[in-house]
Structure 1
Amino acid sequence: MQDLHDPKLRLEQYIGMKVKRKRVEQGLKIIDVARIAGLSQGMVSKIENAQVSTSLDTLSRLCDAIGLTISTLFSDYDRPEGGAQLTRSGEGMEVVRRGTEKGHTYQLLSYQRGKKKSYEPFLITMDDASEVFPTFSHPGQEFIYLLEGRILYRHGNHLYEMGPGDSLSFDAEVPHGPEALIEVPIRLLSVIHYDDTQ
């Protein structure tokens, strides 16, 4: 059976498949639908088998007979195909950034970002509480979400103590970074959003 989301599906095929599926779900036979809609059995069969282009009036009567609204009938037609990148746990691409030499591990969680780099999501792991950390400064806005551990995080002259579930959003051009790792290991999600100039 063809997929309703197949972009190559002709409109008549789409209508036929949708109508037949709904009729079968309702437990109705073609003869029942034809009688309720005031159509011939042959016409109902031809519509279901995509052998005829039907008028809106006929289609409306047919849909009424099987309890299908016109808006629902067309709700999936011509829907964009879509497609997302799934990154499984532990499968993010490991990248080297400032701080890597200090024991930070950076996993880039998305690699397909369109024509321009608009954002970068990282999973960052830190596990050495005795390290002195560098500060970072780069274009864009950054959002961090602490998943595990406790950290004292600096942004400019402000310090924020963060625990699991806490988040921080800030201008990434202002110097920022870990001030102290209070409880390790630390895992945090960092999403850097760039403006249109990147």
Structure 2
Amino acid sequence: MTNAATPEPRLKIEQYIGIQIKRQRQSQGLKIADVARLAGISQGMLSKIENAQVSTSLETLNRLCDTLGMPMSRLFSQFDQQGRDALLVKAGDGMEVVRRGTEKGHTYHLLNHSRGPKKSMEAYLVAMDDASEEFPTFSHPGTEFIHVLQGHIVYRHGNHLYELGPGDSLTFDSDIPHGPEKLLEVPIQLLSIMNYSSD
């Protein structure tokens, strides 16, 4: 006989907010000092917010959300769904986030923004529509899987170039520099799934 899994205790609102703020900051590779300065609060205060050591005002949370490019409504959107075993993100509801490449014409919609405190996986719907742009390369821990939904692209991984079209997939070690080399046919939409698991 197998025992049913014991539900994890519900997070308090301060814990939930701290996790969301920290997750958004780390996903952009930003330091506490940078975010605190841009939001007009002290590093100590931001650290306390992220670690659920203080309750903060809506005004401060609004400044933090503005700094991180996250709508304030998203900060609380999943709080009441903590007890659920699955997360449904309807078409068009993925949280738009700022990442390296955004200024070069990438649009990122995070499709699994209700992860647990330990980040193990991220899924993005990435859109690119300017074939004339030169795109940066990326490098980060883990393994990445991309699947092209629309358009044609030449994608670089290290010294190798791969021409990808609708239905094509590529899986690779994301520690090695990678990214779009050339947009052959726009608009391009691709699904990008990043696995950070150390197992």
Shorter-chain TM range is 0.5 to 0.7
Residues 1:82 and 1:93: Cα distance change in structure 2 (over 3 Å): closer
Q: Hey, what's the Cα distance between the residues in 1 that align with 2:96 and 2:117?
A: 22
Tell me how far 1:84 sits from its aligned partner: 1.1
Secondary structure, counterpart of 2:103 in structure 1: helix
1:143 equivalent in alignment to 2:149: no
Write the distance in 2 (CA, Å) between the matches of 1:123 and 1:164: 14
- Cα displacement (A) at 1:146: 0.2
Deviation at 1:195, TM superposition (A): 2.1
What is the CA–CA distance in structure 1 between the aligned matches of 2:140 and 2:116, rounded to whole Å? 21
2:97 maps to 1:88: no
User: Taking structure 1 as the reference length, what is the TM-score of the superposition?
Assistant: 0.57
Q: Which amino acid aligns with 2:95?
A: M
Question: Of 118, 131, 134, which residue of structure 2 is paired with 1:132?
Answer: 134
Q: Partner residue of 1:98?
A: 100
Amino acid at match of 1:85: L
Give SS of 1:89's match: coil
The 1-side partners of 2:95 and 2:197 are apart by 23
Q: Which amino acid aligns with 1:187?
A: Q
For 1:121, which of 120, 123, 141 is the aligned residue?
123
Question: Shift in Å at residue 82 of structure 1?
Answer: 5.5
Instruction: Find the counterpart in structure 2 of residue 179 from structure 1.
Output: 181
Report the equivalent of 1:40. none
1:188 aligns with 2:190: yes
Instruction: Structure 1: state its 5+ residue gaps.
Output: 1-80
Shift of 1:196: 3.7
Larger CA deviation: 113-122 vs 95-104 = 113-122
Counterpart for residue 162 of structure 1: 164
Structure 2 length-normalised TM: 0.57
Amino acid at match of 1:162: L
For structure 2, which runs of at least 5 residues remain unmatched after alignment?
Answer: 1-82
Separation (CA, whole Å) in 2 of partners of 1:181 and 1:169: 19
Q: CA deviation at 1:119?
A: 0.3
RMSD: 1.4
What amino acid is the match of 2:139?
S
